[in-house]
Structure 1
Amino acid sequence: MSEQITTSPLLLAGRWTEGAGGATVDVENPADEGLAGRVAVATEADVESAVREATRAQRAWGATPAVERAAVLLRLAELIERDGERLARIVVSEVGKPIREARGEVGGAANFCRYFAGLATSQGGEIMPAARRDAEVLVRREPIGVVGAIIPWNFPLALTTRKLAPALAAGNAIVLKPAELTPLSALAIAELAIEAGVPEGILSVLPGPGSVIGAAIVRTPGVGLVTMTGSVRAGRSILHGAAERIIPASLELGGKAPFIVFADADLEQAVASAVATRMMNNGQACVCNERTYVEASIHGEFVERYTAALEALVVGDPSAEATEVGPKVSAPELANVERIVDAAVAAGAKLVTGGSRLTGAGYERGHWYAPTLLTEVAADSPVLREEVFGPVTPIVAFADEAEAVRMANDTEFGLSSYLYTNDYGRVMRMTAALESGEVFVNRGGPEEVVGFHAGWGESGLGGDDGTHGFELYSRRKTVYASWGGA
């Protein structure tokens, strides 16, 4: 299953280099544990050099007319689509994501570039009425300077442009750290960004451990904003470092999304969406359906239909067109899913289907886990409390609207929620009562770039996408202008 081996240097301020330390790291293909690629590993000295050069280069980039910055992003979108199949295959090789999903991620990466290119030329400042005659108050939006971006492994291509595109559109330079498991996608985007016309000094992509490179990005003077998608543990560390330097941080830290189905919903649609929303990227998405709550009167039928749909999924070689579910991204991630399921079953949960690693032909190597369904799950079970990040669905019955809200909100996370009902009044009540940054009504994810992807509680601070996400990449300056006499 392994793709052709790729070896890449890191990108430091627009120049390809082996890095100050000369070290490299192998990138594993999670489907067969083969070698997907080898990349240079950055050092703290590389981060400091990247930030220093970015600070110098950003002044000219920030002064570049917005329409010219937009043109670079539009060109980048064209190049991503030109090389779409190659990029999709890179995602397959390092994430284990099925090829059809990987192609969708390529489309999302291009879409981020186009959307923020449009905002670059349409989002300006404000002119406010002054209290004096012959005067105005102007509120300008100006670049922050250097943005530090830290990217997770689950959507390495799309999340690279999700951070890179608004940063460049707003006139910033960016120093980006890809996840240790999946650096190839970000480096491939960087190569296309240089071809698209991103000036030297403006972009750095520095692979390496988060404890070294991520920490250095946060604490290095010159970085004016840190934007990160990842774990709560890493988010807390970043927030602490940002507080020390008194700089803003935008953090998307995961979720435990409830998927709520009422008896009046279209059951066929709800089951299909619940499966798709749980199994996207093998359950390795922060917006995945992590907890399925079904009204008691239809619980049995829902479980039957859901079981049949799970057992019909094609699990296997992610490069094959028919595959719907691939491997887990790594051995530790696989072990974590196994731990959570085993704990739930030991505490009395009923295992309906799945519940173990996959073995036999096609699964001799790689990190495979069967699509799994649990019922009769205790409220304090880890499968309902922790982010599983795998192909595991607990289905719980509820009696009424009040209990559905209580169960859905019984979590420290607050990123996404899903609601299936055809009662308009219930839609309005539930969307007001659910404690999450986004609610999907009678539809699955993923989120759309025009919205605002932001979490409550331990799901983070700040956010991505839309005009609200774009605002995070600039700072405001108020100018009190007068042209009259004293």
Structure 2
Amino acid sequence: MPMPPSSITGRFCSMPDTTQPLLLAGRWSEGSGGAVDEIENPATEEIIARVSTANDADVESAVAEAVRAQKSWARVPAAGRAAVLHRLATLIERDADRLAGILVAELGKPIIEARAEVGAAAGFCQFFAGIITTQGGEVLPLSSPSQEMWLRREPIGVVAGIIPWNFPLALAARKLAPALVTGNAIVLKPAELTPLSALAIAELAIEAGVPEGLLSVLPGRGAVIGTALVQNPAIGFVTMTGSVRAGRSILHNAADRIIPVSLELGGKAPFIVFADADLDAAAEAAIATRMMNNGQACVANERTYVERSVFDEFTARMAARLESMVIGDPADEATQAGPKASNAELLNVERIVGAAVDAGARIVTGGERPSGGAFDRGYWYRPTLLADVSNDSPVLQEEVFGPVLPVVAFDGEEQAVAMANDTVYGLSSYLYTENFSRAMRMSHSLRSGEVFINRGGPEEMNGFHGGWGESGLGGDDGTHGLELYRRKKSVYAAWSAS
């Protein structure tokens, strides 16, 4: 009988000779096609696990079981569903060390950041469990005194959740918590690089009391599993975090079926620093916002714009901070930057930096792979600062998704806004200034779904995380994110006035 993840993955997931099952409608099983993915530790290039992958037939089975299970789950009072999510949060906290170890092993995330991600996963469960009982319907008066209209919020049915590799545990919780607490079933498709985290949280969800059939986790190729999910006639809502390319494909398939989607896609966040800002605080935030998860975050600082009068000083402060960062074993408490998630991701960073240098950019620090000792294996890249960057360079136009930071000088507010908005993306923007009026003006002028003033990221759970342009549509978090998992029903009622 296939074993759940905790039976075959230790703290650092080191049993590559055992095939880890997928979760199909609440039961651990092998994929019906017999295919297996090898999961690699990006710090060492070692195979740390083998995971059974799903196919079209598995998707069909998972969705069919989800339809059956959801009908009963929807009848459970909101407080009962919330209790299950609260138990899941408690179990995540109980297993925090094991879950953090999985993130270290399958993603190369530094252990300090891995623990923070585990905390975020528990936090999503607690947050949505906490607010669901405050979310009611509405009673509206009608034209007759003996009539009312009741606006109900009801579950959609079966949700498809598609998550990326960069925050595989937190984003699994970000999708499954609001889906389950609103009375839906959910089929999760984790990224090919990092399926272990989603499987681990699914195991805890079963222990917490999620009924059989209500939750499936189906690793496999996105072109196969993702497409099969979106095209399945029983899927009522698709929530996806990932690339623009994948988002376009999902949107196209969803349009054929006329179902709602929420797409959180790429980002190219500008980080704008005026001369009147607290430069130490701004430099610290600029680096932290760039280097979180080794730059592999959609809200990361991808472009730093600095007012010309303080450009040299601020560039030197950032360079000093980058050069002092500890790169190394992600399991070491002292490590601040680990490897890239895969060789393909590393090569993409090298391509973008190379194109920038060819176009005249100057490497202030970094710009190469470290070498020697443990760095001779794995997908490592030094934290990099680029100056003298042309605006048409790929490093200013493409999402780098790595530890590379271009810094550009600007003259005045108008130019800063024009540079910041010169992108197809529109997820996050950062602004450092002590001028309140300027901050308010720019918060209106910047074309992005989030603006952070005098603070770094990331976003918080009670906000709304959504992008403009090619950064997507819909969004996550807060009451507005929760609303996407429900649909409205108007009930008109008349009664006798006598």
TM over 0.5: yes
Q: Distance in 2 between matches of 1:477 and 1:14?
A: 30
Q: Distance in 1 between matches of 2:424 and 2:265?
A: 11
Matching residue within 215, 237, 241 for 2:249:
237
Q: Distance in 2 between matches of 1:463 and 1:195?
A: 29
The match for 1:192 is 204
Q: Distance in 1 between matches of 2:204 and 2:12?
A: 23
Matching residue within 123, 126, 141 for 2:138:
126
The match for 2:15 is 5
Q: Distance in 2 between matches of 1:407 and 1:231?
A: 23
Q: Distance in 2 between matches of 1:467 and 1:40?
A: 36
Q: Distance in 2 between matches of 1:430 and 1:273?
A: 19
Pairing 1:399-418 to 2, within 5 Å after superposition: 399-418=411-430
Matching residue within 76, 79, 93 for 1:67:
79
The match for 1:482 is 494
Q: Distance in 2 between matches of 1:177 and 1:257?
A: 27
Q: CA deviation digits over 1:298-343, x for unaligned, max 9?
A: 0000011111110000001000000000000000000000000000
The match for 1:259 is 271
Q: Does residue 1:344 correspond to 2:350, yes or no?
A: no
Pairing 1:169-318 to 2, within 5 Å after superposition: 169-318=181-330
Deviation at 1:38, TM superposition (A): 1.3
Equivalent position amino acid for 2:131 in 1: L
Pairing 1:398-477 to 2, within 5 Å after superposition: 398-477=410-489
Q: Secondary structure at the match of 2:395?
A: helix
Structure 2 CA distance for partners of 1:112 and 1:19, relative to 1, 3 Å: same
Q: Distance in 2 between matches of 1:394 and 1:363?
A: 25
Q: Secondary structure at the match of 2:165?
A: coil
Q: CA deviation digits over 1:274-320, x for unaligned, max 9?
A: 00000000000000000000000000000111111100000010000
The match for 1:330 is 342
Q: Distance in 1 between matches of 2:47 and 2:334?
A: 24
CA contact (8 A) 1:19 1:42 kept: yes
Q: CA deviation digits over 1:72-115, x for unaligned, max 9?
A: 00000000000001000100111111000000000000000001
Deviation at 1:59, TM superposition (A): 0.5
- For the aligned residues, what is the CA RMSD? 1.1
Equivalent position amino acid for 2:125 in 1: C
CA contact (8 A) 1:2 1:32 kept: no
Of 217-226 and 18-27, more deviation after overlay is shown by 18-27
Q: Secondary structure at the match of 2:341?
A: coil
Q: Does residue 1:380 correspond to 2:409, yes or no?
A: no
Equivalent position amino acid for 1:267 in 2: L
Matching residue within 154, 161, 185 for 2:173:
161
Deviation at 1:4, TM superposition (A): 2.1
Q: Secondary structure at the match of 1:368?
A: coil
Of 4-13 and 36-45, more deviation after overlay is shown by 4-13
Q: Distance in 2 between matches of 1:212 and 1:255?
A: 25
Deviation at 1:360, TM superposition (A): 1.1
Q: Secondary structure at the match of 1:113?
A: helix
The match for 1:29 is 41
Q: Distance in 2 between matches of 1:15 and 1:439?
A: 43
Q: Secondary structure at the match of 1:32?
A: coil
Structure 1 residue runs of 5 or longer lacking an equivalent are: none
Q: CA deviation digits over 1:419-458, x for unaligned, max 9?
A: 0011100110010100000011111111000000000000
Q: Distance in 2 between matches of 1:158 and 1:36?
A: 21
CA contact (8 A) 1:2 1:35 kept: no
Equivalent position amino acid for 2:72 in 1: A
Deviation at 1:36, TM superposition (A): 2.1
The match for 1:117 is 129
CA contact (8 A) 1:451 1:466 kept: yes
Q: Does residue 1:362 correspond to 2:368, yes or no?
A: no
Q: Give the TM-score normalised by the residue count of structure 1.
A: 0.99
Q: Distance in 2 between matches of 1:261 and 1:138?
A: 50
Q: Distance in 1 between matches of 2:450 and 2:173?
A: 21
CA contact (8 A) 2:12 2:104 kept: no
Structure 2 residue runs of 5 or longer lacking an equivalent are: 1-10
Q: Distance in 1 between matches of 2:281 and 2:230?
A: 44
Deviation at 1:184, TM superposition (A): 0.1
Deviation at 1:122, TM superposition (A): 1.1
Q: Does residue 1:394 correspond to 2:406, yes or no?
A: yes
Deviation at 1:368, TM superposition (A): 0.3
Equivalent position amino acid for 1:322 in 2: A
Q: CA deviation digits over 1:404-425, x for unaligned, max 9?
A: 0000000000000000011100
Equivalent position amino acid for 1:102 in 2: A
CA contact (8 A) 1:135 1:484 kept: no
Q: Secondary structure at the match of 1:395?
A: strand
Q: Distance in 2 between matches of 1:229 and 1:369?
A: 25
Q: Distance in 2 between matches of 1:5 and 1:40?
A: 14
Q: Secondary structure at the match of 2:374?
A: coil
Q: Distance in 2 between matches of 1:35 and 1:321?
A: 23
Deviation at 1:361, TM superposition (A): 1.9
Deviation at 1:2, TM superposition (A): 6.2
Q: Secondary structure at the match of 1:475?
A: strand
Q: Secondary structure at the match of 2:176?
A: helix
Q: Secondary structure at the match of 1:38?
A: strand
Deviation at 1:157, TM superposition (A): 0.2
